[in-house]
Structure 1
Amino acid sequence: MDSHDILRILSTELDGQGALPWPVVALRICGAVLLSGCIGFEREVRDRPAGLRTHMLVGLASSCFCLLTLELVARNFGSDVQMDPIRTIEAVTSGVAFLAAGMIVFSRGEIKGLTTGASLWLAAAVGVAAGLGIWLLAVLATVLALFIMHLLSRFERRMQKGDD
């Protein structure tokens, strides 16, 4: 490979011509950050260990992994290469599950951090949906998560007061 080949490859990589147009990529990444941030904001307001920034980063990373997968699938590697795009989703879920498990603490007979761990896992799913451009799923999951975490926590507190 000579210097002209290297320059041609670099110019192709930097011209922004991928599997998806850059405005679509930017929208998907920003959407993942925004929607995951909504979930993280709820955790931040409740002063939980994984808040706004953590959830936004998880959503961003998940979206990036999906966009990378779409890019790889669109490239022609010849018949020698076999790819399974589902492995990206498996890798995101197992990686975030590890993060989420770190949020869960058993102390003095109580489990703490379970909802925060679950919300991190959900932020990853929202990021995956946004990265793949499945906006209805991403937005609906975010809205339902906020409903579950905010309104149902009030209901739980009222039920606990009734038990006392």
Structure 2
Amino acid sequence: MHQYHIAVIVGSLREASLNRKLADAMAEMAPLDFIFKQINIGDLPLYNQDADAHPSEPVKRLKADIKASQGLLFVTPEYNRSIPGVLKNAIDHASRPYGDSAWQGKPAGVIGVSIGAIGTALAQQHLRNILAYLDVPTLGQPEAFIHLIEGFFDEDGKVNPGSKKFIQTWMDSYVAWVRTYAV
């Protein structure tokens, strides 16, 4: 059986991150041939072009993990109507130096959960703009701007049955997307 290794980039460093919880729950909804690995972005130095010629070990690890994957899953909160700085920092590191982007051609999905009424709609749009520039084919539909309501996650961290159907539909579309575009 062919396996698809998916690099999961959670845009939050918080230990009790809702988006990390969502990423964990979603990984359980995928078929068995999809292997999800959350990529550590918390130890990356701030991006500085002067370091492109001699990247740190965390940057080398980040790029290697992305290059070894057949797909990307971005699960991010929204900070001040955009993506978190830690996520942008990781994107910048893995896209540099110019001409050596680890992101290029990797099929991606973008999703997120927030307590805000519009979920992560604006963060996702900003992220999609960045990914388009980086030549990352990104799943367009269905969109999922998840507004966290009480009971969305059960005590075991699983998505409640009513919301699970929606998330499963998104996951099924994502899986088909990766299978179509993975190189």
Select the structure that is richer in strand. Answer: 2
Larger Rg: 1 or 2? 1
Which TM-score band (shorter chain)? 0.3 to 0.5
| TM-score, with length taken from structure 2 | 0.32
